[in-house]
Structure 1
Amino acid sequence: MTTQNTISSVTETLKLLNIVAKHPNTGLSELARLAELNKSRTFRILCTLAEQHFVYQAKDGSYQLGHQLLVLGQAAHHQLSLIQAVEQTSEKLRALFNENLQLRVIENNEVVQIWRKVSSQSLQVRSVVGNRRPLGAGAAGKLLLTFAESSIKERFLETCSQAQIQQWNMDFTQIQQSEVSISKGELTQGVYAVAVPIFNAQGECIASFSMSIPNVRAENERLEQIIFEMKQASIQISTLLGYKK
C-alpha cells in the first residue's frame, strides 16, 4: 500500500531487498517476477544496491544480501539496547523532576537526537527526535565532543583559533573529570541543560543523556539534585550496557 508521502522507487527497492533476504541465491529473472517488476528495472535497482554493498552478486549471477546490512543490523541492535536501558532508568528521573529528557549520538560529525521523554509541565523545552545540531554545541554537543575519538576532536579544533583551542581543552578536562556537561541558555534562551555520558562495555562514550530545564525551575538546590541524579542515571544505564568503571 502506498500513500501520498511515500516514494514508489524506494518502496520497490525495499521490497526487492526483502525478497533477496527471503530468497537468497536467486537470479535476476526470478527476482523480477517475485518483485512484480520488469527485468530492466530490477537490474538497475540491484546494481544500485550492490554499489552500496546492500546486495552481492555471485559469479553465477544470483544475488544475496551484502555486508552493509550487517553494519546496519549491528547499529540497530546497539541503538535498541541503548534505548531499552535508558527507558528503564528514565522513569525515576521523570518521577523526581518531570522535565524533558533526551538521548543524542554523534552521526556524520553532527549530534542527532534519537529518543526523548516529554515532560507534562506546561512550560517546557520542546525538541523532536531526529533533530540535528553541530558537534560541540550545547551541553550534549560539548559532552559528545569531549569523549569523541581523537581524530574527530582534531578535525573540530582545526577551525578554531589558538584562544578557542585553549578554552576547549579546559572544557574537555573539566567535563572528563566531572562526567557532566552543563549549559545555560547556550542554544535556547532561559534554559539549562545537563548532559551525562553513556558508556558501552568497551568503555566508549556512545551517547549523551540530557535533561532540559527552564531557568525558573533550575534554582541552585534543585539543579544540584538534578546533576546528582543524572550522574547516577549515567552509571546505571552504562552498567546495563556492560560498562565497568
Structure 2
Amino acid sequence: MTQDYTVDSVDKAFDLLMAVARKPNAGVTELALKVGLTKSRAYRLLHTMEQRRIVKRTGESAYGLGHAMLILGITASSQTDMIRLATPILEELCQRVNETVQLRTIDGTEALCVAKAEPSRDLRVHANVGRRRPLYAGSPKCLLAFQSQKFIDQCVPDNPTPLTSSTPNSREAILEELKKIRRQGYCVSRGEVSDHQVSCAAPVFVIDNSVVASVHVVAPAFRIRDSELEHIIRLATSSAERLSRALGWSETG
C-alpha cells in the first residue's frame, strides 16, 4: 500500500492559492467555499501566505497574487514569458547603445534585476541578476511612478536614506520626480545610486495598463553627453514599448 505523505495544511494552502489565481479579488468567504474550508481556516492560511508575499490584499477582505509569485516564476527553469520575450529585445538594445541593459521588476518594496545584457567593451557597468535597489532612488523610480498611490506611500520614506549626494533627500522631492516620470514616460538618473553612472529607464506595460517591469540602460557618466542620452532615451522607450506589445499591451487598450 502506498503511504500518503500529503500535508493537509499545505495541500489546502495550494488549493487556496490556485483559487486566488483563477479569480483575483475574490473575498475570503468565496475562496473558503471554493476549496471546502471554514472561513476562519481560510483566513489563517491566506494571512500566512500574505506574510510571505505569496498573496496580497486587494481590498478589505479580498486577495490577489503577491509579488513573491513573480519571483517564483522567474526562477523556474524556463523563466517567465516576460523574460523569454525580453531577452532578444534587451540584447538588441545593448548592441545599439553599446551599454549595459537590465530588466527590473518590483519585489516587495525594492526593484529586482531579473535579466541583463552587457556589451563586450572593457569599461562598462556590470549588472547582476538578483541585485536589488530601493524604488525611491535612481532609475528604479520608473517602476514606482506607475504604481498605486498607496504603494508609493509605502515605498517612499519620510526621510530617505541618501545613497549618494545626488539622491533625492526628501519625500516631497521624490513625489515630484514621480509625477515628472509619469508625465514624460521615462526616468533619467544622474548619479543617484552611484556617483559615476547615468541611467535611464522606460516602463513595460501589460494588457491592463499596469506596469510590471522597466527597461534600464546604465553607463559611465563620463561617456554620456546630452546627445547620447537623448539617443539612449529614444531607444530604451522604444524597446520597452516593443516588450509591452509582446506582453499584450495596446496603446488604445
Same fold, TM exceeding 0.5? yes
Answering whether residue 199 of structure 2 is matched by residue 193 of structure 1, we say yes
- State the Cα deviation string for residues 115-155 of structure 1 (Å, max 9, x = none): 11122110111121111122212112x11111112211122
User: In terms of mean alpha carbon deviation, does 191-200 or 164-173 score higher?
Assistant: 164-173
Q: What corresponds to 2:220 in structure 1?
A: 214
Runs of 4 or more off by more than 4 Å in structure 1? 55-59, 66-75
User: In terms of mean alpha carbon deviation, does 82-91 or 100-109 score higher?
Assistant: 82-91
Say if 2:87 and 2:115, in contact at 8 Å, map to a contact too. Answer: no
Q: What corresponds to 1:128 in structure 2?
A: 128
- Give the distance between the partners of 1:188 and 1:120, measured in 2 at CA: 21
Q: What corresponds to 1:82 in structure 2?
A: 82
- The percentage of counterpart residues that share the same residue type is 23
- Give the distance between the partners of 2:95 and 2:127, measured in 1 at CA: 20
Secondary structure of 2:103 counterpart? strand
Residues 217 and 202 of structure 1, relative CA distance in 2, 3 Å threshold: same
Q: Report the alpha carbon displacement of residue 47 of structure 1 after superposing the two structures with TM.
A: 5.7
Secondary structure of 2:112 counterpart? strand
Q: Report the alpha carbon displacement of residue 95 of structure 1 after superposing the two structures with TM.
A: 2.2
- Give the distance between the partners of 2:143 and 2:152, measured in 1 at CA: 10
C-alpha root-mean-square deviation of aligned residues, in Å? 3.4
Residues 169 and 50 of structure 1, relative CA distance in 2, 3 Å threshold: same
- Give the distance between the partners of 2:89 and 2:157, measured in 1 at CA: 38
Secondary structure of 1:138 counterpart? coil
- Give the distance between the partners of 1:185 and 1:216, measured in 2 at CA: 11
**Residue type at the aligned position of 1:143:** C
- Give the distance between the partners of 1:186 and 1:238, measured in 2 at CA: 27
Residues 219 and 157 of structure 1, relative CA distance in 2, 3 Å threshold: closer
Of 151, 164, 174, 1:168 maps to 174
- Give the distance between the partners of 2:4 and 2:223, measured in 1 at CA: 59
- Give the distance between the partners of 1:100 and 1:204, measured in 2 at CA: 25
Say if 1:193 and 1:210, in contact at 8 Å, map to a contact too. Answer: yes
- State the Cα deviation string for residues 41-93 of structure 1 (Å, max 9, x = none): xx7xx367348x2478999xxxxxx9989964897289612112212322331
Q: Structure 1 regions of 5+ residues with no counterpart? A: 1-26, 33-42, 60-65
Aligned length: 197
The structure in which a higher percent of residues are helix is 1
Q: What corresponds to 2:19 in structure 1?
A: none
Say if 2:204 and 2:215, in contact at 8 Å, map to a contact too. Answer: yes
- Give the distance between the partners of 2:209 and 2:173, measured in 1 at CA: 26
Say if 1:136 and 1:143, in contact at 8 Å, map to a contact too. Answer: no
Q: Report the alpha carbon displacement of residue 193 of structure 1 after superposing the two structures with TM.
A: 0.8
Q: What corresponds to 1:23 in structure 2?
A: none
- Give the distance between the partners of 1:170 and 1:55, measured in 2 at CA: 43
Secondary structure of 2:207 counterpart? coil
Say if 2:83 and 2:115, in contact at 8 Å, map to a contact too. Answer: yes
